[in-house]
Amino acid sequence: MKKIEWDDGLSVGIDVIDGQHKRWIGHFNSVVDAIESRGGHAPVTSTLGFLIDYTDLHFATEERFMTATAYPEIAAHKAKHDELRVSVANLIADFEEEGDTPALEQAVDTFLGTWLIEHIRSTDQLFGAYITETGLILPVD
């Protein structure tokens, strides 16, 4: 399985969001560690749980920022977040039913790892560019 490493090419130009993406990647890498250490059900369940909770928090932050700045692409961006929410819910349901299988590992790589990076590189960076170009101020809380 492949871990994700942060690099500057992933920056969206907004410190709060970059900081959250770094923590998000950290949670993703913990899931990979938990699966690869073959320590059983509990560590995978708990690391996946942390990743899910952090995903909710992170999406809520971005969606609040987009609402506050009247971002024109908010509907499309939110739809992508919703897609991931569904993928992750399915992934957890499969894990609860079948445990750690090669299919689960593949799904973690594809639905989470690849998705995270692509989403940051395309969708999140578009929002970052909007904020940079308009000079709009993001809400502190």
Interface ranges with Fe ion (CB under 5 A) = 62, 124
Collect all residues with Cβ–Cβ distance below 8 Å to 72 and sequence separation of at least 6: 130
Residue closer to Fe ion, measured from CB, 100 or 115: 115
| Residue closest to 47 by CA, chosen among 79, 8, 88 | 88
CA 112 to chain centre: 7
**CB of residue 41 vs Fe ion: minimum separation in angstroms?**
29
Residue closer to Fe ion, measured from CB, 58 or 104: 58
Residue closer to Fe ion, measured from CB, 27 or 124: 124
**CB of residue 12 vs Fe ion: minimum separation in angstroms?**
7
CA 38 to chain centre: 24
**CB of residue 10 vs Fe ion: minimum separation in angstroms?**
10
